[in-house]
C-alpha cells in the first residue's frame, strides 16, 4: 500500500509515553535525533517552568522582545511536540534513503553525514533559540548597576560569569550582546550578498567595459584592509548601529561579486541561457530567472562564512570603541571594558570572547559542511 514503512515502525514501537514525551521510543531505539529532540524539548519545558514568574513579568509590561520571547518559547515547544508525535524526529536524523533523490535531498544527506556540519548547525540552532529567549533566560537586567556591593565580582552561583566594573551581571550582558552581534552580522551579510551578486552578475553578463570597470572597483576595495576602511568611515561619521551594518555590508561584497562573476561567465553560454535569449527575453529576465538561480550555491556558502567574518569585524570595531556604543552591550565593547583590568578581573574579557569564538566557529562549521554538501561533484 505504501512505498515505505510508516515512521512509527522504524524508530521502535511508539508507546503511550510518546504522546507526552515525543521521541522517547526513538530514544529507546538509540536514535541520536530522538535523544536531541527530547533533550531540547525538556530543556524548553524546563525554561518555561523555572522562568514562569519571569514570563508573567514580561507579559505584564509591554515590549516587543518579551512578547517575541514568550511566543517563540510556546511555538518551539509546540513544534517539537507535534514533530515528535509524527515520528519526524526519527527520520530526520536517519540516513536511510527514504527521502527521495532530488538534488536538495542528496545535498541534505551529504550535509548530515558531515558530522562537523551537523554539530555547527546544532550550535547555531541553540544560539538562535537562546537569542530569541534572551529576555526569559537572562538572570538580570543587563543595564542594572550595583555600584555598592556588586562591582567586579568573580564568577559565582549568583553571577555565572561574574560582574563588571559597574556591577552589571556579565552573563546577562553577554546574552543581550549576542542579539546585537548576530543581527549586525546577518544584516551586513544580506547587504554584502545583494550588492556582490548584483555587481558580479552585471559584470559577468555584460562583459566588456562594464566588466573591466566593475572589476577595477573590486580591486580598489580589496586593496583596503577591511578594518582600515571600516574605522576610517566610522571615525569620520558618528558610529551607530545602522552605519556599522551598512559599512560592514559595503566592505564585504567583493569576494561574492568575484564568485558570482566567475559563475555567470561559466553558465552564460549554456544552451538553456541561449534558449531563453532566443525566446526574446530581456537581459534582466535571463539573468534573474535563468542564470542567477544556477549560480547561487557558492553564494550561500559565502554568506554563511561571511556572517562569521562580519561578527569578527564588528567585534574588532566595538573593541576599538568605534562600533556599538555603550551602554548597549555588544561582545566587542564588553571585551574592551575588561581590557584594562584583564589581570585582576579576567572574566570580563574572557567570556564574551569565548562567545565570539563559538559563534563564528559554528558559522564556519556550517559553511564548510554546506560547501561539501552542495558540491554536486560529490557522487554517492
Partner 1 sequence: MGIGDRVVARYGGPTLIRYLGRRALQAIPLLIGIVTLIFLILHLAPGDPTAVWFNPNIPPEVLDRMRVNMGLDQPLHVQYLRWVKAFLSGDFGYSYTQFRPVRDVIGDALPNTLLLSGTSLLVIFGVGCAVGSVQAVRQYRLTDSLLTFATLFLYSMPGFWLGLMLILVASTSLSWLGLPVSGMTSVDHSLLGPVGKFTDVAQHLVLPTIALGLASAAGVARYMRGEMLEVIQQDYIRTARAKGLSERTVILRHALRNALIPVVSLLGLYLPLLFGGALVIEVVFSWPGMGRLMYDGILARDYPLVMAASFLFAVLVVIGNLIADLLYAFVDPRIRYE
Is the Cβ of residue 81 or residue 347 nearer to partner 1 in the bound state? Answer: 347
Say how many C-beta atoms besides its own lie within 10 A of residue 339's C-beta.
11
Exactly one of 365, 370, 373, 374 binds partner 1 (CB under 8 A); which one? 365
| Length of the chain, in residues | 380
Burial of 203 (0-12, 13-18, 19+ CB in 10 A): buried
Question: Should residue 237 be labelled a site residue for partner 1 when binding is judged by CB under 8 A?
Answer: yes
Q: How far is the CB of 220 from partner 1 (least distance, A)?
A: 4
Exactly one of 28, 227, 246, 267 binds partner 1 (CB under 8 A); which one? 227
Scan residues 256-315 and list those touching partner 1 (CB under 8 A): 308, 312, 315
Exactly one of 18, 307, 319, 333 binds partner 1 (CB under 8 A); which one? 319
Q: How far is the CB of 106 from partner 1 (least distance, A)?
A: 23
Report d(CA 336, CA 334) in Å as an integer.
Answer: 5
Is the Cβ of residue 21 or residue 215 nearer to partner 1 in the bound state? Answer: 215
Q: How far is the CB of 273 from partner 1 (least distance, A)?
A: 31
Residue 241 in grid coordinates:
548601529
Q: How far is the CB of 253 from partner 1 (least distance, A)?
A: 14
In 3D space, the residue among 308, 347, 304, 340 whose CA is nearest the CA of residue 321 turns out to be 340
Sole window of 177-185, 189-197, 211-219, 293-301 interacting with partner 1 (rule: CB under 8 A): 211-219
Spell out the residues 6+ positions from residue 29 whose beta carbon is closer than 8 angstroms to its own.
11, 12, 90
Sole window of 2-10, 191-199, 261-269, 349-357 interacting with partner 1 (rule: CB under 8 A): 349-357
Report d(CA 324, CA 248) in Å as an integer.
Answer: 13
Alpha-carbon torsion (180, 182, 185, 191), positive or negative: negative
Sole window of 87-95, 141-149, 231-239, 296-304 interacting with partner 1 (rule: CB under 8 A): 231-239
* CA 263 to each of CA 198, 204, 309, 343: distance values in angstroms, whole numbers, following the listed order: 13, 8, 23, 50
Q: Write down the number of H helices and E strands in the chain.
A: 19, 0
Question: Should residue 361 be labelled a site residue for partner 1 when binding is judged by CB under 8 A?
Answer: yes
Q: How far is the CB of 229 from partner 1 (least distance, A)?
A: 7
Question: Should residue 228 be labelled a site residue for partner 1 when binding is judged by CB under 8 A?
Answer: yes
Report d(CA 212, CA 206) in Å as an integer.
Answer: 10
Is the Cβ of residue 224 or residue 272 nearer to partner 1 in the bound state? Answer: 224
Question: Should residue 224 be labelled a site residue for partner 1 when binding is judged by CB under 8 A?
Answer: yes
Is the Cβ of residue 231 or residue 295 nearer to partner 1 in the bound state? Answer: 231
Say how many C-beta atoms besides its own lie within 10 A of residue 270's C-beta.
13
The helix-helix angle for 331-339 and 170-206 (nearest 10°) equals: 130
Q: How far is the CB of 236 from partner 1 (least distance, A)?
A: 4
Residue 279 in grid coordinates:
525566446
Q: How far is the CB of 101 from partner 1 (least distance, A)?
A: 28
Binding site for partner 1 (CB under 8 A): 216-217, 219-220, 222-229, 231-233, 235-237, 308, 312, 315-316, 319-322, 335, 338-339, 342-343, 346, 349-350, 353, 356-358, 360-361, 364-365
Amino acid at each position: 500500500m505504501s512505498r515505505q514503512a510508516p515512521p512509527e515502525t522504524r524508530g521502535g514501537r511508539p508507546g503511550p509515553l510518546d504522546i507526552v514525551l515525543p521521541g522517547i521510543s526513538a530514544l529507546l531505539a538509540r536514535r541520536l535525533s530522538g535523544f536531541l529532540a527530547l533533550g531540547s524539548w525538556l530543556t524548553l519545558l524546563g525554561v518555561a517552568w523555572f522562568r514562569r514568574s519571569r514570563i508573567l513579568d514580561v507579559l505584564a509590561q509591554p515590549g516587543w522582545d518579551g512578547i517575541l520571547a514568550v511566543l517563540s518559547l510556546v511555538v518551539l515547544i509546540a513544534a517539537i511536540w507535534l514533530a515528535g508525535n509524527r515520528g519526524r524526529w526519527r527520520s530526520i536524523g536517519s540516513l536511510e534513503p527514504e527521502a527521495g533523490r532530488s538534488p536538495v535531498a542528496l545535498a541534505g544527506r551529504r550535509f548530515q553525514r558531515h558530522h562537523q556540519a551537523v554539530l555547527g548547525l546544532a550550535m547555531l540552532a541553540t544560539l538562535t533559540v537562546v537569542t530569541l529567549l534572551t529576555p526569559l533566560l537572562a538572570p538580570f537586567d543587563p543595564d542594572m548597576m550595583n555600584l555598592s556591593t556588586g562591582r567586579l565580582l568573580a564568577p559565582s552561583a549568583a553571577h555565572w560569569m561574574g560582574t563588571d566594573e559597574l556591577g552589571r551581571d556579565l552573563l546577562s550582558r553577554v546574552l543581550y550582546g549576542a542579539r546585537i552581534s548576530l543581527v549586525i552580522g546577518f544584516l551586513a551579510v544580506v547587504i554584502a550578498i545583494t550588492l556582490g551578486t548584483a555587481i558580479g552578475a552585471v559584470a559577468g553578463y555584460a562583459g566588456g567595459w562594464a566588466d573591466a570597470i566593475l572589476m577595477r572597483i573590486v580591486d580598489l576595495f580589496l586593496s583596503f584592509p577591511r578594518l582600515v576602511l571600516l574605522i576610517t568611515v566610522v571615525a569620520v561619521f558618528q558610529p551607530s548601529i545602522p552605519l556599522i551594518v551598512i559599512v560592514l555590508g559595503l566592505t564585504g561584497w567583493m569576494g561574492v561579486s568575484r564568485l558570482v562573476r566567475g559563475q555567470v561567465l561559466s553558465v552564460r553560454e549554456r544552451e538553456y541561457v541561449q534558449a531563453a535569449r532566443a525566446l526574446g527575453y530581456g537581459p534582466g529576465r535571463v539573468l534573474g530567472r535563468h542564470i542567477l538561480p544556477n549560480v547561487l550555491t557558492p553564494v550561500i556558502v559565502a554568506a554563511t562564512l561571511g556572517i562569521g567574518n562580519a561578527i569578527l569585524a564588528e567585534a574588532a570595531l566595538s573593541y576599538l570603541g568605534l562600533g556599538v556604543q555603550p551602554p548597549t552591550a555588544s561582545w566587542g565593547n564588553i571585551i574592551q571594558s575588561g581590557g584594562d583590568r584583564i589581570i585582576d578581573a579576567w572574566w570580563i574579557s574572557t567570556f564574551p570572547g569565548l562567545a565570539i569564538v563559538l559563534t563564528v566557529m559554528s558559522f564556519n562549521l556550517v559553511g564548510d559542511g554546506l560547501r561539501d554538501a552542495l558540491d554536486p561533484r560529490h557522487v554517492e
